[in-house]
Every structure is written in structure tokens, then in C-alpha cells.
A and B are shown apart, each in its own frame.
Chain A
Amino acid sequence: MLTIKNLQAKIDGKQILTGVNLEVKAGEVHAIMGPNGSGKSTLASVLAGREEYEVTEGQVEFLGKNLLEMAPEERARDGVFLAFQYPVEIPGVSTINFMKTALNQIRVHRGQQPLDAVSFLKLMKEKMKLVEMDQSLLNRSLNEGFSGGEKKRNEIFQMAMLEPKLSILDETDSGLDIDALKIVANGVNKLRNKSNGVIVVTHYQRLLDYIIPDFVHVLYRGRIVKSGTKELALELEAKGYDWIKDELALA
């Protein structure tokens, strides 16, 4: 469903992505790991359509469409979802109101009727359970005063609400204690199915004990330098990233 070819991008004149190649098929879970600053969030942002990043080379095809030509909201409506590494706060706007606006715009885009308040509430209650969210949290201003864990859970809640085709989770595990991590992973697993793809960006292999990936890639200096299966994650955990750097230096 997603094919990335030689993707290069820069920000403020600085080249960050130097040629990413990646193919995600429906039903697959790909983990992207890599040291800090290697460009993981940049890749996620470019896929989501953040304008600050300038794509200088390469193509991205998503469900047969040229993703890079689409506006960010069009990508979202077509099923690209990004769980942000740093979810933003929007004072005065409740998560409920925010999700209602989003879901209904997406529905209209898909030629469906907007959901009325009752059906919306029903759907919301169902999805809340998935991430063990409390409704009082959803009544509050979006992410304002939320703990780190609550913010991340809210991201997965939103993912559950919008039922995306491709989900990109950017370090959804960072800052979570083990219980929260399990809840989040459990939520993601329940949403996994044959027609959806997931990209899990993470720093630690810990999350991958709960969300078992089909493939693991190492992003380093803006490109994928090594790919493997979940054993690669274990190896990275045991040995760190230095051996990869050494390997690269030798090559």
C-alpha cells in the first residue's frame, strides 16, 4: 500500500533524509529504529505532509496515489494517520469536539453522512475501552495538562476513532510506564488487521515485545541501512547502534 523510493528531504537547508526506500504491504507491521536525530520523525512528518520539510528527491505512492502531491488533510482523509511524538495542546477544544470535527470531515470526504451526536457517542465509548480512557479526560481541553502517558493514549484513541489504513506511530512508547505501554500496544494490536499497515517508530525494542513487527529497519543518517525481522531489534537492544555504524564505516 505504501512504496517509498529514494526519498530525500531537507529542512532549513539541512539535508535530513538522504534516500529512504521502504515498502509496506497491507497487513504488515514495520518497525523503524535508529539513534536520536537519524531522521525518524522527519520521515513520519514528510509522509504526513508537513510543509516545513522540502522533498528534494524521490517518490511515495500510497494506495496508487502520489502521496507527495496531496495536501496533509487529504492524506489523512485517505487513511494516513500519524500518532505524534509530541502531541500538541489545543486549549478550549475538547478531544470530543476535536474528534467529532475530524471524523465528520473524513466521513463527508468518503461520501458518508456525518454522525449524529448519539452515534458518535456510542462509537466513542466503544473506542475508549480499547485504550482504557476515561471520558472525563475526553471532555477536557485536548492534551492540555495531560500526563505524557495520557497524551500517547489519546493518540491511539484517535487512531481507533478514525480507523486509518496506514498508521505511523512516532515513539508512542517513550515516556510510558510498563502498564501504559501494554495498554497502548494492546490497543494497536486490536486495530491491526489484514488491510491495514502500521509503521512503528521506536527507540527501544521493549515495545516490540508487545507489538510484534513483521520487519525491522534501522534508519541512520537519513536512510535505511539495515533491514531484518524482529531478531534485528533484539540484536540492537543487546549491542546498541555502534556495530551498525562500524559496519557502515567498513563498507
Chain B
Amino acid sequence: MNKDNQVLEELTSKEYEHGWTIDIETDSAPKGLNEGIIRFISAKKNEPEWLLEWRLKAYRQWTKMTEPKWPNVTYPPIDYQDLIYYSAPKQKVQPKNLEDVDPELIKTFEKLGISLTEQKRLTGVAVDAVIDSVSVATTYKTTLAELGIIFCSFSEAVKEHPELVKKYMGSVVPVNDNYFAALNSAVFTDGSFCYIPKGVRCPMELSTYFRINAANTGQFERTLIVADEGSYVSYLEGCTAPMRDENQLHAAVVEIYAMKDAQVKYSTVQNWYPGDKHGKGGIYNFVTKRGLCFGDGSKISWTQVETGSAITWKYPSCILKGDNSMGEFYSVAVTNNYQQADTGTKMIHIGKNTKSRIVSKGISAGHSQNSYRGQVKIMKRAENARNFSQCDSLLMGDKCGAHTFPYIDVENNSARIEHEATTSKIGEDQIFYCLQRGIDEESAVALIVNGYAKEVLNQLPMEFAVEAQKLLALTLEGSVG
């Protein structure tokens, strides 16, 4: 542990000793969704008129849309009028100390090697998450401000940088892009905003540290990242704590806008509550993520490790508009028990000499269903476009399914496209080989699976990669034999 962490830990545990009380959010909108609710949300957040209008426009579009039925997932119909769109669910009492937290959750944390402070923060125990993250955010902020980097909550951005928000919000994912994006646009509660000025290389990984707290309240967050010419940023979407809830809808939107020669790397480790062994509960994770390589020579790289959620519907995509721009998608999606994942990417080549690379590693166990769905589209103007796709599936047991749906659409003959796909079973031979060397079965599976996913895990920042490896092993625990 470094000095900073030690100090932080001391400080926060002191605060705990002093008996912090938590402000339980009592404001909440009534169930259901209508224009009144949207006005209510907007008023609660003291939003400017233009944003309210934006929300209402999205809402009106949404009412005319229907839920997509094409993903390879099944779930009972969602009653959108039975949901609360603002505030924390009231029945959820915040635990006062770690003893009150679900012991199974604590066990999971321990296995993940998450520090006590971190555990407290993630479970929302007495350490006031808001105070905690504000202090952290402030340390960040001085360094970042000196470079002109803006990194703040979405609500704050609306107040402090309305011109930027106005200009870029919805420029990559239009309000009517799809059903869930429209819903998000109408009711989003918070999220994060990031702007990297011209020529600035962000010196640290930016993570959605403070958004973890928000996750308890809003399931509709929005992220907007704008990278100005020649800038660079690596952005992490944090380890979202497992949540013990009924099926909950999570419909987020992430937009990335990259100007000339800008580079954005966006990494996610998604660990929402997947439901129990029998498929009860869990998050419906319907997320729209898209990056626009607007400027020439820009690059956007998505890396995702998807281990959680009951249902995942997610296609982080790149629109390669600028000439010589590049998009990457690295994904590991693990499903176990009754989880369902339909995930992949879209690479839309518009500019000349645009390149894209897709590496998808699916792992299915238990009764789960795991689909890769990807589209590579080469538009007429995209001279010399290149794509490489590698889609591998690994099966554990014989009750799960792996599916691959690649769509390739080429309108320019100079394109070069390579697609490779493999399906393999985790070998009895491989496991026996490990056992024979004294390695227990759980570690054997972890070893083999992490080896299989290595190319993707290598893309993650160091500490994140370690966490992701442990998560993969945890997700697959007990899935062999």
C-alpha cells in the first residue's frame, strides 16, 4: 500500500469511528413514466430549460418506439410504468457497518482482495461515500485543472460547462438511436463528463470512482467523453459492486467524441449482480456505448470484461469517420448459471484507410447463453479499409450455448476483411494435466480461462487486469465437475 492510501484509510476509518450518519434520500418520484415525471426529475436537478426540452423530446420519441426483440435473450416483459425513475429505492436501508452487510458479499470482496476501505465504500457503509470521493476528486482536480482537463459529474457539467454538454451530448448516440438510449435520454439521473483539451495527454487513468455511489440510486447514467485534437485519455469504468436486488433495469449511455489524432481508451469491468444460481434476480444491462472517430487519425479502443448481469445487451461501437482513424474492441464475456449475454460491436468505416480490430472471447458455463453479435460495415467512400475479427467461444459443460452472429457489409472493393472464429470446449485433458501437477480444479479452470482471455486482459491497465482475472475465476466457480 502506498502512503496516500494509508492516509486515506486512516482518515476514512476515523470518520467511521466518529459515527457518520448517512443522509438517506427521501425524495423520490412516484412510480411510472410520463412528461410530469420528467419535469419532476429536471426540476429536482435544477436543470436549464434546454435540457428539459431535450429530455421531453427523447421521451416523446421513446413512446413511439418498441423494445428491440432481435437480441438472442429472453426475459419477461418489462413494465415501464412499474419503475421508479428518480431516487434510491426506499426499502433499501443503508448498512451502518460491515457486520450488517450480506456476508456472502463480504466473502466475495475478500476473494477479490478488495481492501476494507474499499469494501466499506462499495457497500456504502458509514464512510460517507460522497465525502470520500469528493476528497479524492479534489486531489485529482487540482492536477487535472492545471492541464485544463474537465472531469466531473454530468450534473455539474450541465451547470459549469453547458456549451460543451449542449454541443456534444447526443452527437454520437442520438436520442432516438434505440429504445434504451431514448429512455436514458429522457430520464438519466447522473453520470460523468470528461473533456481533454487540445494536445493534452491525461497523466492518470480516469475512473468513474464517484459513480459507484450513484449506482445505488440511478440506473440510468450517462457518460460523455470529448477528446480534443491530439489528446489522449484512458478511462476506466470501475468495478461495480455486486448488488443484491430483484431484476433491475440498467440502461446507460456512453458517448465518446474523438477529434483529429485524439486517442481514447475506454475499459470496463462489468460485475453487476447476475442473479442467483437459479436465475432469480439480477440486472438487465441494456447499454449503448459508441465512439465517434470524428477527426483524421483518431483512435478509440474499447475493452470490456463482462462477468455480471442477468442479461447483457451491449455493443460498444466505433464510427470511423476521419481518414486513417482506428477502432478497437476487445471483449471477454463470461456467462454462468442462467445468465444471458448478447454482446459485440459495430465498426462503421466511413473514412479512407480506416482500420478496425475486434477480439471477442466468449466463455459460457452452466445453463447460460452467450452470443457475439458484430457488424463490420465498409461504406462507399472508405478506400483501403481494413478489419480483423477474431471471435472465440469457450464452452464449459454441455447445457450452455455459444453463438456468433457476424454481419459484414462491404460497399468498397478495396476493403480487406479477415474473420476468424473458433469454438472449443474446456478440455478434460487440460484440467487433468493441471490436477496432476497438484493444482486444484478451481485454480485449474481459472488458469485455463485466463489464458484463453489473455489477449483481452492484456489490454487492461495493470491493477484492473488482476481484478478482472479474479473476477473471471469467481464467476466460473463451481461450474466444472
**Residues of A bordering B, CB below 8 Å:** 48-50, 52, 71-73, 76-77, 81-82, 84, 87-88, 90-93, 97-99, 101-103, 105-106, 109, 141, 158, 162
Give chain B residues whose Cβ lies under 8 Å from the Cβ of A102: 434, 437-439
Alpha-carbon gap, A49 to B437, bound state (A): 12
Q: Is the CB of B438 within 8 A of A84?
A: no
**What chain B residues lie within 8 Å of A162 (beta carbons)?**
437-438
- B430-473 CB contact bits vs A (8 Å, 1 = yes)? 10111111111101000110111111000000000000000000
Chain B residues near A72: list those with CB within 8 A. Answer: 432, 435-436
B89-103 residues at the A interface, CB under 8 angstroms: none
Q: Which residues of A contact B454 (CB under 8 A)?
A: 91-92
| Cα–Cα distance between A48 and B427 once the two chains are bound (Å) | 17
Chain B residues with CB under 8 Å of A87's CB are 433
| Range, interface on chain B | 20 to 34
B430 engages A101 (CB within 8 Å): no
A109, B437: Cα distance in complex, Å: 13
Q: How close is A127's CB to chain B, nearest CB, in angstroms? A: 14
Q: Give the docked Cα–Cα distance between A3 and B427 (Å).
A: 31
- Most A-side CB within 10 Å, residue of B437, B440, B441: B437
- Measured CB to CB, the closest approach of chain B to A106, in angstroms, equals 4
B455 to chain A minimum Cβ distance, whole angstroms, is 8
Q: Which residues of B contact A105 (CB under 8 A)?
A: 438-440, 443
Distance of A36 Cα from B435 Cα, bound (Å): 26
Verify B437–A158 contact, CB threshold 8 A.
yes
Question: If A72-B436, A92-B452, A92-B454 touch, does A98 touch B447 (CB 8 Å cutoff)?
Answer: yes
CB-CB < 8 A to B429: which residues of A?
88
Residues of A within 8 A of B440 (CB): 73, 105
Nearest to A108 among chain B residues (CB) is B438
Question: Is chain B's interface secondary structure helix, strand, loop, or mixed overall?
Answer: helix
- Point out the residues of chain A lying under 8 angstroms from B441, CB to CB: 73
Q: Is B438 a contact partner of A76 (Cβ separation < 8 A)?
A: yes
Which of A52, A71, A92 contacts B451 (CB under 8 A)?
A92
Of the candidates A52, A76, A97, the one whose C-beta lies within 8 Å of that of B437 is: A76
Q: Is the CB–CB distance between B438 and A106 below 8 Å?
A: yes
When A50-B432, A98-B447, A101-B443 are in contact, do A92 and B453 touch as well, CB less than 8 Å?
yes
B453 / chain A contacts, CB cutoff of 8 Å: 92
A90 near B430 with CB under 8 A, answer: yes
Q: Decide: B438 and A73 in contact? CB cutoff 8 A.
A: yes
**B451 near A90: Cβ-Cβ < 8 Å:** yes
B437: which A residues are within 8 A, CB to CB? 76, 98-99, 102, 158, 162
Q: Mark B398-440, 1 if CB is under 8 A from A, else 0.
A: 0000000000000000000000000000011110111111111
Distance between Cα atoms of A84 and B429 in the complex (Å)? 11
Q: A251 CA to B433 CA in the complex, in Å?
A: 40
* A240 CB to nearest B CB, Å: 32
Name the one of B428, B436, B438, B451 contacting A93, with C-beta atoms under 8 angstroms. B451
Kindly report which residue of chain A lies nearest to residue B454, judged by CB atoms: A92
